[in-house]
Amino acid sequence: MEMIATRLQAIRSELPPEVRLLAVSKYYPAEAVRAAYDAGQRCFGESRWRELLTKRETLPDDIEWHYIGHLQRGNVKYIAPFVQLIHAIDTPRLLAEVSHQAQRCQRTIRCLLQLHVAEEETKFGFSVDDAEAYLSSGEWRALPGVQLAGVMCMASHTDDTQRIRRDFRRAYDFFRHARNTYFPGDDAFSIRSWGMSGDYPIAIEEGSNMVRIGSAIFSE
Ligand SMILES: *Cc1c(COP(=O)(O)O)cnc(C)c1O
């Protein structure tokens, strides 16, 4: 646990000031979150709703919880009362459900569109073409419970750094296009969530302003 503060410090010192660090605590125990909290970290990412609810019970209230994993529509209701940002919106129906549950809690929930830019077939997310079609449909404008706040992606799982760079670049190109076309003058559409333990330096070079780092902070 002592390592956690040291590692957090080291990672923070590498990040430019405009890049936020999300500590990905999924699969790590509440004591690990507590150690990071004591070292000043306040934003944590989880990807299982049950695990998130359990941890939240024992941890301080001023933690900002982000949901980063694939989310099934039937589970939105469990996190809607408190979640600060949902990173992985991968279908129009999921976004509609988040809006519905947010309204039931009298909240607005910030959400990111997950783009599928990696070479693997199995990953979730909108293709660039589908994301464009969805934004141009304007359907999302009729969802009062959500605020689209940017784009999230995962790069290909590979050692080929050129490929990783290309994936992030596609996400950034889409982000810029979407901001200029659909959110002109709207500062809320600003988040570029990409970069994990293995690739965050490249992600930052390619426009990320929110890195999601788990194992580099928490693993033994
Ligand atoms: C687990 C996970 C991360 C963190 O991955 P590490 O390699 O442990 O840094 C980031 N984003 C998502 C969506 C994840 O599921």
Q: Model confidence over 74-93: pLDDT tens digits?
A: 999 999 999 999 999 999 99
Return d(Cα 1, Cα 22) in angstroms, integer: 18
Q: Looking at ligand 1, which residue's alpha carbon is closest to its atom 4?
A: 214
This prediction's pTM: 0.97
**What 3-state DSSP class applies to 53?**
helix
Q: How close is the Cα of 111 to the center of ligand 1, in Å?
A: 17
Please tell me the distance between residue 220's alpha carbon and the centre of ligand 1 in angstroms. Answer: 16
Q: Whose CA is nearest to atom 7 of ligand 1?
A: 197
Quote the longest CA-to-CA distance of the chain: 50
Residue 121 vs residues 18, 115, 166, 219: alpha-carbon distances, Å: 32, 13, 17, 28
pLDDT in tens, 9-67: 999 999 999 999 999 999 999 999 999 999 999 999 999 999 999 999 999 999 999 99
Helices (H) and strands (E) in the chain, counts: 9, 8
Q: What is the pLDDT of residue 220?
A: 81
Q: Each residue of 156-168: pLDDT tens digit?
A: 999 999 999 999 9
Tokens representing residue 136 in the block: 């141009």
Ligand 1 within 6 A of CB of 24: yes
133-151 pLDDT per residue, tens: 999 999 999 999 999 999 9
CA separation (Å) from 199 to 29, 82, 176? 24, 29, 21
